[in-house]
Amino acid sequence: MRIRVAVCLKDIQYSNKISSYFTTHYGESVEVYSFSGLELLQKYLDTHVMDVLLADESFDERSVSEWPDMLIMKLVQNIDSSKKDDGVIFIGKYQKASLIYREILHYCSRKKEFNVKKGSNRTIFISFSSITGGAGATTIATAFALYLARQGRKVLFLNMEEFGDTSILLGKGGNYGFEEILLALKTTNRNLAMKLQSAVSKTEEEVYFYSSCENPVDFSQLTADETREFLSAVSSLDYQYVVMDFKIDLSERCRELMNKADKMVLVADGTKKSKLGLERIARALGATDGIDRTRNSDKLVIFNNKVEKGKAIDISNNDIPNIGAVAFIDGMDPKEITWNIAGRIECFNELA
């Protein structure tokens, strides 16, 4: 069932723009009906049902009682945060139609019966984890996501570390972030796939991501079952790739992430510590393969980061292939380093 949206705005040009954009870009999720006045809308509602009404300043809030089951969203130029009307949601007028669409999804996500666009092809999940602290897994993972976006792939970046912060490398997201997803996961009557679409942000290079929780304690409340449900919902959308960044451990939540991954990239820094860490990770995953009836140890590949000529040691393993390397980069901030690595196509040929 698609969301039925009634657009009733005095500004006909703006009304047509919103209606056209919704139909062109989100036709599989919404049905749009345009009305030139409330009288026509009222007459239509006598025999039909609408889910959402997009109105403007001319809309009389007293009419809300007549349409108790419809979500009323009023587009206004000046939002007074102190003004609250039961049944009416105030949002900024003349903002991008895509942002209005996200607001609609955000509030409609409480209803399970709505369907959102599904992906037609299988999503590929690739995870990145540092073998040792500071090896740069987040940098390499973000660079790979950027690389995919530059190749025209639709990619979602998931920072699943408790202390991770997507804003450092991808910038500040929108009004909603991972807190909204956590709330949806812990609420019984909600539409998780729709919530995922309403909370997602996008960089200028079209990497999709979720803003990290401001308080890491919130993220720590994510359970293994919720992680599995979250990843399943992500799979139902239309991403070609999902790039995950997390710290490997043997917790149930981490094992859900590993089980979902098609390939697991272990980022090394060419030190003896990395070699020892790789051996321990391979041994541990081999043991959990037997317990969980998975083959996560078969998914492992090595990516060498911060390789200094003449100083890096060979940490290769006969059972774990080495798929790429990038030299130590000096004189750049973290974001510049990430963008630089993303441009090195040869680094990621074996992953994409």
Question: Closest Cα to residue 57, out of 33, 26, 20, 83?
Answer: 83
Return d(Cα 127, Cα 137) in angstroms, integer: 9
**Structure confidence at residue 116 as a pLDDT band (50, 70, 90):** low
What are 127-177's pLDDT values in tens digits? 999 998 888 999 999 999 999 999 889 999 999 999 999 999 998 887 788
What are 230-241's pLDDT values in tens digits? 999 999 888 999
- Where are the alpha helices (H) located in the chain, listed in sequence order? 12-26, 38-45, 97-108, 137-150, 167-170, 178-185, 192-199, 216-220, 224-235, 252-260, 272-292, 334-342, 345-348
How confident is the model at residue 251, as a pLDDT?
92
Query: Regarding predicted confidence, which is higher, 315 or 166?
Result: 166
The 10 Å CB-count burial string (b at 16+, else e) for 301-326 is: bbbbbbeeeeebeebeeeebeebbbb
Tell whether pTM > 0.75: no
Domains of the chain as residue ranges with CATH: 3-108 (3.40.50.10850), 124-348 (3.40.50.300)
Q: Which residue is it, tokens 């998975």?
A: 294
Q: For residue 330, what are its two tokens?
A: 């000096």
pLDDT at 81 > cutoff 50: no
Helix (H, G, I), strand (E, B), or coil: what is residue 263? Answer: strand
Return d(Cα 322, Cα 301) in angstroms, integer: 6
Which residues on neighbouring strands pair with residue 307, listed in sequence order?
327
